[in-house]
Amino acid sequence: MSKRDYYEVLGIDRNADDKDIKKAYRRMAMKFHPDRNPGDKTAEAKFKEVNEAYEVLSSSEKRAAFDQFGHAGVDQSAGGGFGGGGHGSFSDVFGDVFGDIFGGGRQRSHVQRGSDLRYNLDLDLEDAVKGSTVKIRVPSFASCGTCKGSGARKGSSPAECSTCGGVGQVRMQQGFFSVQQTCPRCRGQGKVIKDPCHKCHGAGRVEEYKNLSVKIPPGVDTGDRIRLSGEGEAGLHGGPAGDLYVEVSIRRHKIFTREGRDLYCEVPISFVDATLGGELEVPTLDGRVKLKIPAETQTGKLFRIRGKGVAPVRGGTAGDLLCRVVIETPVKLNREQKELLRSFQATLENGGHRQSPKKNSWFEGVKDFFDDMRL
């Protein structure tokens, strides 16, 4: 009787990768394993066929020979494999498949990279725009200088865990399955410290503060991060240190508000300057500049001063400074000033609608609104 094509046995196409082959084998082997089909000769025969197909297709050399010559190319090499008379336990069948998942048979390294740290840095707007160098003090774990990060007392070294044999995992039988779990004695490290360092008590790290200088590039903004390589926590058991990420937050400024490349500020002006026009000095981050206020300027008007904003941290031209004028109402007037304003108001009322167009337009809109309500 001729043998079936191995790809057909596992139900996969000829372009299947190793992951697809293992997945198909696991599914078929679980279905036909004799432990799940006691006394079923047909299932046992199919199980042997599945094993034989998997042994060939999981080997790159055997698979290449099978692809080129068919069964004739693998009969001698495959004959002594799974296709033999017996079969392993249900857990043994999946040993190589689950081993890839749980790390079976491979010794885990107890050396671990240190954790990354984050430091929140509050900056003044001037320092963020122009750049600066800031000193910070960071709490972290550093490698123990006494034991050089090993955790063992000077002159000794960590020993191989006798429970897991240095693998870091132990095998637990649960019904059909053999599951690997973290070794309870060494906690997955594969090593135990019998004589711990007196300074770090076996941890290999000690807590300390370190002072660092952080160079702030010009143009940084809230949310930007500056990476300091190797300035994070020390690694475990001599592993490399993590990184420190300095996250920038810009403090609220008394005058300016930043939006991307542009700066905004409010400039209070008198109603006389707003009416007749004038010239004011306004601040920028580079000093003072003149701002010309045209006659009949209304409150809320934006004036743009080009190039007085922020140059982006990643390059490009600087933004602009936008000044929003706010007309300030006089306060604490004396009797003479009040009389002058009343006289001035009377002249405006005699002048008709043209001197207060927005006011008269608004009142006309209100009148129309109430007229519509009466209909």
| End-of-domain residue from the set 59, 78, 93 | 93
Residue 216 is assigned to a structural domain of this protein: yes
**Domain co-membership, 121 together with 245:** yes
| End-of-domain residue from the set 56, 78, 93 | 93
Residue 234 is assigned to a structural domain of this protein: yes
Contact in structure between 323 and 291 (CB atoms under 8 Å): yes
Contact in structure between 177 and 171 (CB atoms under 8 Å): no
Angle at which helix 41-57 crosses helix 18-32, to 10 degrees, equals 170
Residue 34 is assigned to a structural domain of this protein: yes
**Domain co-membership, 224 together with 176:** yes
Cα separation of 320 and 322, whole Å?
6
**Domain co-membership, 221 together with 286:** no
Residue 21 is assigned to a structural domain of this protein: yes
pLDDT of residue 72: 75
Cα separation of 275 and 296, whole Å?
4
**Domain co-membership, 158 together with 227:** yes
Would you write out the chain's pLDDT as a tens digit for each of its 375 residues?
Answer: 457 889 999 999 888 888 889 888 988 888 888 778 888 888 888 988 988 889 889 888 888 888 877 877 776 543 433 344 444 444 444 444 444 444 444 444 556 788 899 999 999 999 999 999 999 998 877 788 888 777 888 878 888 888 887 778 887 765 555 677 888 878 777 888 888 898 888 888 888 888 999 999 999 999 999 999 999 887 776 678 889 999 999 999 999 999 999 999 999 999 899 999 999 999 999 899 999 999 999 999 999 999 999 999 888 899 999 999 999 988 899 999 999 989 988 887 776 556 666 766 776 777 777 777 776
C-alpha angle 171/176/179, rounded to 5°?
A: 25
Residue 10 is assigned to a structural domain of this protein: yes
**Domain co-membership, 184 together with 203:** yes
**Domain co-membership, 215 together with 283:** no
**Domain co-membership, 49 together with 89:** yes
Question: What residues have CB less than 8 Å from 178, skipping those under 6 apart?
Answer: 91, 92, 94, 95, 98, 171, 172
Cα separation of 155 and 196, whole Å?
11
| End-of-domain residue from the set 250, 275, 305 | 250
Residue among 234, 231, 233 nearest 246 (CA): 231
Residue 60 is assigned to a structural domain of this protein: yes
C-alpha angle 275/262/276, rounded to 5°?
A: 5
Q: CA of 282: how far to CAs of 11, 255, 271, 300, 339, in Å?
A: 78, 10, 17, 16, 33
Give the domain range for residue 155.
117-250
Cα separation of 375 and 373, whole Å?
6
**Domain co-membership, 246 together with 265:** no
Tell me the three state secondary structure of residue 52.
helix
Number of domains in the chain: 4
Residue 100 is assigned to a structural domain of this protein: no
Residue among 321, 318, 278 nearest 297 (CA): 278
**Domain co-membership, 121 together with 246:** yes
The domain that holds 240 is classified in CATH as 2.10.230.10
**Domain co-membership, 123 together with 141:** yes
Cα separation of 79 and 3, whole Å?
13
The domain that holds 314 is classified in CATH as 2.60.260.20
In the DSSP assignment, the letter for residue 39 is T
Residue 173 is assigned to a structural domain of this protein: yes
Cα separation of 127 and 27, whole Å?
63
Residue among 38, 36, 50 nearest 5 (CA): 50
pTM beyond cutoff 0.85: no
pLDDT of residue 367: 73
pLDDT of residue 92: 47
**Domain co-membership, 316 together with 347:** no
**Domain co-membership, 58 together with 159:** no
DSSP string for 66-114? HHHHGGGGTHHHHTTTTTSS----HHHHTHHHHHHHHTTTSPPP--BPP
Contact in structure between 324 and 264 (CB atoms under 8 Å): yes
